[in-house]
Chains A and B, each alone.
Chain A
Amino acid sequence: MANQTTTGPDTQGGVGSDRVIIVGGGLAGLAASMRVAEAGMKVDLFSMVPVKRSHSVCAQGGINACNKVARQQGYSEWQHFDETLYGGDFLNHQPPVYSMTHWAPDIIDLFDRMGVPFNRTKEGQRDLRMFGGSLFKRTHFAGATTGQQLIYALDEQVRRCEVEGSVTKHEFWEFLWPVLDDDGVCRGIVAQDMRSMEIRAFRGAAVVMATGGNGLIFGKSTNSVICTGGAAARCYKAGAWLGNAEFIQVHPTAIPGEDKCRLMSESARGEGGRVWVPRKQKDPRHPNEIPEGERWYFLEEKYPGYGNLVPRDIATRELFWKCQEGYGVHGGRMVYLDCTALPDATKDKLAGIFEIYEKFTGDNPRDVAMKIFPAVHYTMGGMYTTYTAEDDSKGMKHGALNNMMTNIPGLYAFGEVNYQYHGGTRLGANALLSCTFDGLFCGLSVANYAKEQISAGKSASDSLLQKYVDQENDKVTKLSENNGKFNPYHIHEKLGDELTDSCTVMREQKRMEQAYDVLCDLKEQYAQVKLSDTGMWTNQNLSFTRALGDMLAYGEAILLGAMQREESRGSHYRPDFPERNDERFLKTTIAKYDVLNDRPILEYEDVPQPLVEPRARTYGKVD
């Protein structure tokens, strides 16, 4: 890396800038930074938190890839590809998934070379675990803190780039708006220093959004508190489209909490943990006192093949229904996730998540079954992106300029904020893969595009940048001078409650209509929101309130998308339309922001199926 030369003069921020902007320093943003720097470009990396503290640290279970052992048992990259489509209920674009699954083994090798302490077998090979949606062991892991280990490895490599001068970090800077020129091409960003509150524009020959998911729209989720979707919503308001916004994953196993729902990773089931409820409703006994015969392992009973490892949307619904039927623990909204019978060595591999459970509930999962309930977890939808497929549709063309570019030229979306790869449901341990893959594979596209722009001498003028800075300053002034009466935290709480209740596991038309009315009220309240801090030093209240406006806009796209999709597919379940309807809805929902009316306009686009024909998604269910 050190001996690569850069193209053009190093004029950080100046006209004719040769720099690429990457917003977000999770797995996707870090992998992209590394790859773009390797291609000879200078990178400006922006993040609201020190990149090492990004939400990716939360990932626990692992990362999928075909491997030597699975291959010898009949597994292949093709099968990983097929599983991802089947899991996603065929809403995924196939060529990108093809590339991702075929690159996966090399991505694991790369992490291995970077020093990630993957668990080892006795012989010293990388160990594997089972995960949802597959009958093969194909998940690589580092204890129960895989995401933390992977992001640290990338963080270390990017620190090296920083020392070598190819990457400049801007931590505690918040992205506010993309800079678009008169032709609608993205030429940079406006961002705000979260300490001094200074608002500045930065030139970029290309801009990558790698800003993660939007769980906070639902109030409490398994996400980190910065996962508001604010950055994506700002791009949406500036003209970028959202794809499949209504597809939100609810994870079956989380610990409900006061401030957030903490995840109990799928690895607990992958390593043999079993989900059950007492056969007797409201059984008052301690779980350890309920004999085997009086426990109802409902997932294993209904899905004999996949058992506890059916995809998340299916497990979530089954669990939710059991509680609705009154079989929840003590009649409440919880079921047991039982790891007590696992051998000690297996329990040790889960130490990271057991620690979390014990810390926050006081019970030790080694001895007592855990009590869990579903929680909002992952954003399948996101910023709409395109790509160039190979002629035979087997993969994307490596280096094609538009791979994972949004409808705005020069603006890319990588990682969880990108709507690609996962369709209607994401399989466990496929997100760490898609985020890293975006950065490493599509990073080349970004570098190629940026070089083209630079040689054409195209960049933003000073007056254009100033226009955008003024615009953002005006918004801040307006918010701070707002003499309203509504508390932003209360609006957020109400938004989260409404959306969680109406638009997660079960999506009933009537309930969604009610929620929509509430959302419209909340938008009106937001117009009269009152800041409790109007100072100009580290004003977190301003940052949150601004993001709240974005969450309302994004929330509306989610809700309307869910109301208009009259079918059930993957995580999107409509009791009034319980079947998948390929004829009407084997389509991407595209949400475009209507500035005049401050609401989304929804359009639908066919999802081509060039390699695998859609088939019924049953996971061997027996009724």
Chain B
Amino acid sequence: MIKSNKPKTLTFKIKRQDDPKSEPYWQAFDMPYRPSLNIISCLQYIAGHATTTGGKDVAPVVWECSCLEEVCGSCTMVINGRARQSCSALVDEILDETGDTIITLEPMSKFPVVRDLWVDRSRMFENLKKVKGWVPIDGTHKLGEGPQESPEQQDMRYALSRCMTCGCCLEACPQFTIDNEFIGAQAISQARYFNEHETGATLKDERLDALSEVGGVSDCGNAQNCVKVCPKDIPLTESIAATGRQLTVHHIKKFFTGK
């Protein structure tokens, strides 16, 4: 809840871009303050009143969103310089933190812009293909239960399984750029997730091969920015370290078996 005096008006400075090829530009929008706003409800307001502070009618701002409860990952954008979900970014908290009624919104910079705040994150999904992010079951037929596991093991896998492919970790990572090959913390952590499952581990060697390639684990500079920004508290640096160890073993094994 806001501690300071409530402002009458909020101003949003939004970095816009009409399509992937055009140049970005900034526009500002005012809206009346109400308590308990989140950034999405502000964007919804702006969509319904697409007039800039200068009084110019413009095309409504475009952004992605779906669940509105920080579980789908869609609505990620850079808010006051920090990549986060706009549905769970509460205006009152931002006002308390910054004491400023001007709030800036930008698209993530590590992904190509589709339009305005909407970026193309297909690279993340492609990376999941590279690391064979699935458990290779025989099929959907009635074949009984899966492997048993201890509550500790479940707990550890559950923590990894909550990754919502939002991209915050990649936006924050100094090694991940818009045009290099680094696979990033999200996909490394997902590879670990599947390697930790009894049936999933049958593809472990293939996953580790993928992670030994250019853009794999060795490209991580261990800056640890990723783990600090992950909204789901996924132990990303632990995953990177664990995968690094698995890779070492993998390489030694390969060296001796020649496979």
Contact = CB atoms under 8 A, between A and B. Distances in A.
Interface of A: 1, 34-35, 38, 49-50, 52-55, 57-58, 106, 109-110, 112-115, 117-122, 124-125, 142-143, 145, 148-149, 152-153, 156-157, 159-160, 162-163, 195, 224-226, 257-260, 262-263, 356, 359-360, 362, 440, 487, 489-490, 532-533, 535, 537-538, 540-541
A489 B47 contact: yes
A159 B134 contact: yes
B47 A541 contact: yes
B59 A117 contact: no
Interface of B: 1, 18-19, 34, 36-38, 40-41, 44, 47-48, 50, 57, 59-60, 62, 64-74, 87-88, 90, 114-115, 118, 121, 125, 128-129, 132-137, 139-140, 142-146, 148-151, 153-154, 157-158, 161-162, 164-165, 194, 197, 199-200
Best-surrounded residue of B69, B146, B158 (most CB of chain A within 10 A): B69
Contact of B72 (A224, A359, A360): A224
A260 B87 CA distance: 10
A47 B162 CA distance: 22
Q: What are the nearest 10 A-B pairs in CB distance?
A: A112-B146, A156-B134, A489-B48, A113-B146, A115-B135, A124-B148, A53-B72, A259-B41, A117-B158, A538-B115
Contact of B129 (A113, A152, A163, A258): A163
B68 A224 contact: yes
10 contacts: A49-B66, A58-B71, A109-B145, A120-B153, A157-B137, A159-B133, A260-B69, A262-B69, A360-B38, A532-B57
Given A52-B125, A159-B128, A113 B59 contact: no
B218 to A, nearest CB: 25
Contacts of B73: 52-53
B74 A53 contact: yes
Best-surrounded residue of A142, A263, A532, A535 (most CB of chain B within 10 A): A532
Contact of B146 (A114, A356, A360, A541): A114
Given A53-B72, A125-B148, A38 B50 contact: no
A489 B74 CA distance: 21
Majority-rule SS of B interface residues = loop
Nearest to A119: B154
Contact of B142 (A109, A263, A535): A109
A122 B47 CA distance: 51
A156 B115 contact: no
Best-surrounded residue of B47, B59, B129 (most CB of chain A within 10 A): B59
Contact of A490 (B48, B88, B151): B48
A38 B145 CA distance: 20
Contacts of A362: 1
A537 B18 contact: yes
B29 to A, nearest CB: 13
A532 B60 contact: yes
Contacts of B34: 258
A117 B40 contact: no
